[in-house]
Structure 1
Amino acid sequence: MDGRARRGWGLPGTGPRGLGGRARGRAVIEAVVTDFGGVLTTPLTQAFAAIQNEAGIPLDALGRALGALAERHGVNPLFELETGRLTESEFMEGLRGALRDQLGRKIEIHRFGERYFHHLQPNQELIDYMRGLRERGYRMALLTNNVREWEPLWRAMLPVDEIFELVVDSAFVGMRKPEPGIYELTLKRLGLPAPACLFLDDVELNCSAAAALGMSAVHFRHNDQAVAEVEHRLAEGGRPRPGSDQLSEPSRSQR
């Protein structure tokens, strides 16, 4: 990480309690809401590609299979999986059948979740940065599109409850990014207005949805770029409102 991106990492006077006066016309940012997969981990596409290679599934065949399922049921099965309306086993059963139709042969993908997370690694640099933001006084939340059965797997990858006071998991709330409702639920549980929150995600559409509600959004591309942009947005916000400069106690994060 270059020197510009490193500036402000937990240094005295750079958190919400140490910044100078509030920037005129800009809301104070009190909370940082981050995505999980692709931000606090290595890219998701790498993990999916590894599983496809292991199972001998061409990428175009997977796309056609998912498209056929969506056409058959009138809804994207991945969206149903991420909102908890499909179980992992139901999703995999449908996918295996659709792939068999596409490839003309039986496809077996056993223990998909475990294999997927085997190929997904923590982005330790960003995890450490998130911990540093909490130490500087920012409230921290995690907003993830995920799978209900995978909760133990992804939670094992990082110290969730040490860093984040709130977790909103799509599979447990029946909504997913970029639906406005899941952002609104996150804001409600934080008890903050949208302009008081910064949102970080590797999917541009998700960032656009957050920005449309008034959140300050940063599209994650790589560590240096993301940290530099987050620091710039935080510096623009200035000092938090009186009474908001105390760290909230870590707690069992909510879904």
Structure 2
Amino acid sequence: MTITTVIFDFGGVITSSPFEAFNRLEDERGLPRDFVRRVNAADPDHNAWAKFERAEIDAATFDTLFAAEARALGHELEGEAVLAVLAGTVRPAMVAALDTLKARGFTLGCITNNVPSGSMGVVGAGMARSFAKAEEVAAIMARFDHVIESSKVGVRKPDPRIYKMMCDALDVAPAACVYLDDLGINCKPAARLGMHAIKVTSGEQALADLSAVLGVPLAG
């Protein structure tokens, strides 16, 4: 089937990976490398991170629950500190690729696991700084034909339902889609549905792989 649609994750694809910021936070606090990921991997469907991305709890509750989960794993780390470093740096080449694909007639979608945007005032200035470029993000989001945010629909990746929601919204078969995500666990459900999944390890690699699949030159 001809590919007509490209669906992107946001954090770690359009922007740099938040894991890099988590590692810097861990270094600053003297915590083990990848400790934040370890906390978020424990009970992944029902922990504080999962609940927050589904908008089942507010930021203040996340701050408290995450701290308790971190403490249970042997270290002190408040949830607010994690949220404060969450936003990544936009990759200009990825944004340029969106414009190129749009000009070539491709349909563009974005599926993002995110947190409620109105919560930043609850946890204070740290998280507010992480959303300082909200206008820039909004301009990027406007390039997509459809955006699905976990915090708005109450479903998060890798739940297969969220990929089906996108296909339904765009009226497209999974086999006509390419899906890009920086997490393999999120690529697998897309691939099982029939999408061509690309695991993103860097902006350059993602654009090279996408170019090869689509036959469209995309500068890295």
TM-score normalised by L of structure 1: 0.68
Q: CA–CA distance in 2 between the matches of 1:141 and 1:226? A: 16
1:59-208 equivalence runs, <5 A: 59=33, 62=36, 70=43, 75-100=46-71, 110=80, 112-117=82-87, 120-149=88-117, 153=131, 155-158=134-137, 159-208=139-188
**8 Å contact kept, 1:51–1:116:** no
Q: CA–CA distance in 1 between the matches of 2:106 and 2:27? A: 41
Q: Does 1:231 find its partner at 2:211?
A: yes
Q: Does 1:213 find its partner at 2:164?
A: no
Q: CA deviation at 1:186?
A: 0.6
DSSP-derived class of the 1:163 partner: coil
DSSP-derived class of the 2:180 partner: strand
Aligned length: 204
Structure 1 window deviating more from structure 2 (148-157 vs 84-93): it is: 148-157
| CA deviation string 1:38-97 (max 9, x = no partner) | 1111122111122333444444765675577x49xx823222221112222211111223
| CA deviation string 1:162-203 (max 9, x = no partner) | 411211011111111111100000111111111121111111
DSSP-derived class of the 1:33 partner: strand
Q: CA–CA distance in 2 between the matches of 1:67 and 1:208? A: 17
DSSP-derived class of the 1:229 partner: helix
Identity of aligned residues (%): 28
Q: CA–CA distance in 2 between the matches of 1:67 and 1:205? A: 11
Q: CA–CA distance in 2 between the matches of 1:143 and 1:151? A: 20
2:24 to 45, 50, 66: 50
- Structure 2: which 5+ runs fail to align? 121-130
Relative to total residues, which structure has the larger helix share, 1 or 2?
2
DSSP-derived class of the 2:86 partner: helix
Q: CA deviation at 1:108?
A: 5.1
**8 Å contact kept, 1:145–1:170:** yes
Q: Which has the higher contact order (CA 8 A, sep 6+)?
A: 1
Structure-1 residue corresponding to 2:123: none
TM-score normalised by L of structure 2: 0.78
Pair member with larger Rg: 1
Q: Does 1:35 find its partner at 2:9?
A: yes
Q: CA–CA distance in 1 between the matches of 2:191 and 2:39? A: 33
The alpha-carbon distance between structure 1 residues 116 and 30, as it changes in their structure 2 partners (threshold 3 A), is same
The alpha-carbon distance between structure 1 residues 222 and 89, as it changes in their structure 2 partners (threshold 3 A), is same
